[in-house]
Structure 1
Amino acid sequence: MREIKFRGKRVDNGEWVYGDLIHCYGADAGRIFIKTFTGLYEVDPTTVGEYTGLKDKNGKDIWEGDIVKWENLIKTNMRSVIAYRDRMFCFVDANNEPEEIWCCSFTKIGNIHDNPELLK
């Protein structure tokens, strides 16, 4: 059983927060918060990502929206985004198309919110 947690960028200062996801309904519909041990923070819904339960080769947590680099079978360096599709996490390319991956080791190099230039 993997740990279920989320991250998102706070709307007040742009810092990342990690914890439980809370959706608002009714008059506050569309507002999303992340509850941490230190408080409740409103986050930008476009930045919310779920923890995959995986770590990269350096032990860094891998989240939906992270950019990872890896080497394919013919030793070409590749970059992919972690996405949630069809009830599972997968690698997608810069066009949001799923990629066939043949690797067992990858390195987190950033995320689509802070480092979009890494996909160019």
Structure 2
Amino acid sequence: MRPIEFRGKRLDNGEWAYGSYVEAYGYWIEEFTTWAPKMYGNEIVEDAGEHWAKYEIDPETRGQYTGLKDKNGNKIFEGDIVLADICGIAKFIIKFVKGRFTMLDVDDPTSEHLWIIGVVEVIGNIHENKDLLEGCAKE
């Protein structure tokens, strides 16, 4: 079974948080003993050893771990931009579409691709590296 993990950019400092995703319409405070109303929240809960850490995130940056790693051993998340050698080098965006993770070609977003382990390399993500979304000619 693949691990279910999410990431999202923290609202307090802009750093990435990794862990379980919680979409809350209210939440517990004071060590989970008191209910405090909150209209809405998107949070990542990290396992920090003996304690848990909870961070509110920008929901636009939320991405799920695909369960796969790139050729360098980096985890591949939804929203990552990857290079892949599929009939030539091309850039792809990792998306969850129609119940599965797929690669969408930066030059042709209507073109979906499954990937072969070992030929994909994470080079950035759609939130921090918008410059990488500019099309590239296939070699």
Same fold (TM over 0.5): yes
- Pairs within 5 Å for 1:15-34: 15-25=15-25, 28-34=38-44
Is 1:90 matched with 2:102?
yes
CA RMSD of aligned residues (A): 1.8
Aligned to 2:69: 55
Greater gyration radius: 2
Shift of 1:96: 4.2
Q: Distance in 1 between matches of 2:69 and 2:116?
A: 14
Residue identity opposite 2:83 in structure 1:
K
- Picking from 26, 29, 46, the partner of 2:60 is 46
Unaligned runs of 5+ in 1: none
Q: Distance in 2 between matches of 1:13 and 1:58?
A: 28
SS at match of 1:51: strand
Higher mean C-alpha displacement, 96-105 vs 62-71: 96-105
Closer, same or farther: CA 96–48 of 1 in aligned 2, 3 Å: farther
Shift of 1:72: 2.2
Q: Deviations over 1:98-119 (max 9, x none)?
A: 4235754111100000111111
TM-score (norm 1): 0.88
Bigger strand fraction: 2
Runs of 4+ in structure 1 deviating by more than 2 angstroms, as ranges, are 26-30, 93-104
Unaligned runs of 5+ in 2: 27-36, 135-139
Closer, same or farther: CA 24–114 of 1 in aligned 2, 3 Å: same
| 1:35 and 1:41 in contact (8 A); partners too | yes
Is 1:109 matched with 2:123?
yes
Q: Distance in 2 between matches of 1:57 and 1:65?
A: 17
TM-score (norm 2): 0.77
Is 1:7 matched with 2:7?
yes
State the number of aligned residues: 118
Quote the sequence identity (%): 44
Q: Distance in 1 between matches of 2:95 and 2:54?
A: 26
Aligned to 2:89: 77
